[in-house]
């Protein structure tokens, strides 16, 4: 069955460092993958989309990579700030007109 895995443990880093979050998927080949941010008590908010023919996508301090051979996407936040603390969800499309979300990784950036 299709599976999406993100680190379930929180990632703790210091302000100014680069945070790297991992999303692994198995048993299917998504045409694209999205990353969302979710703050406590709020709905997820879209950050970036990367398509299968793109290796890398950037937006300000955010960078996403997509390795279709490894079936993995990496999400990087450079020069991280305490305001970046949140849960980050990856969502590869399944080809059935729907996104399936990973369980998310909680990022904690300490000053």
Question: How far is residue 18's CA from residue 28's CA, in Å, rounded to a whole number?
Answer: 29
Closest contact distance (angstroms) between CB of 56 and other proteins is 16
Q: Does 85 bind other proteins (CB under 8 A)?
A: no
Q: Does 95 bind other proteins (CB under 8 A)?
A: yes
Q: Does 69 bind other proteins (CB under 8 A)?
A: no
Candidates 13-21, 43-51, 62-70, 74-82: pick the segment binding other proteins (CB under 8 A): 43-51
Q: Name the strand (E) or helix (H) holding 86.
A: strand 86-92
Residue 28 or residue 101: which is nearer to other proteins going by CB? 101
Strand order in the sheet with 56-59: 3-6, 19-26, 72-77, 62-67, 56-59
């Amino acid at each position: 069955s299709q599976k999406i895995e993100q680190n379930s443990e929180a990632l703790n880093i210091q302000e100014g460092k680069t945070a790297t979050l991992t999303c692994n998927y198995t048993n299917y080949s998504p045409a694209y993958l999205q990353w969302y941010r979710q703050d406590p008590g709020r709905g997820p908010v879209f950050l970036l989309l990367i398509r299968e023919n793109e290796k890398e996508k950037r937006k300000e301090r955010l960078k996403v990579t997509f390795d279709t051979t490894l079936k993995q996407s990496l999400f990087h936040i450079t020069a991280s700030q305490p305001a970046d603390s949140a849960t980050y969800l990856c969502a590869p499309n399944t080809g059935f007109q729907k996104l399936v979300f990973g369980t998310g990784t909680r990022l904690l950036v300490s000053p």
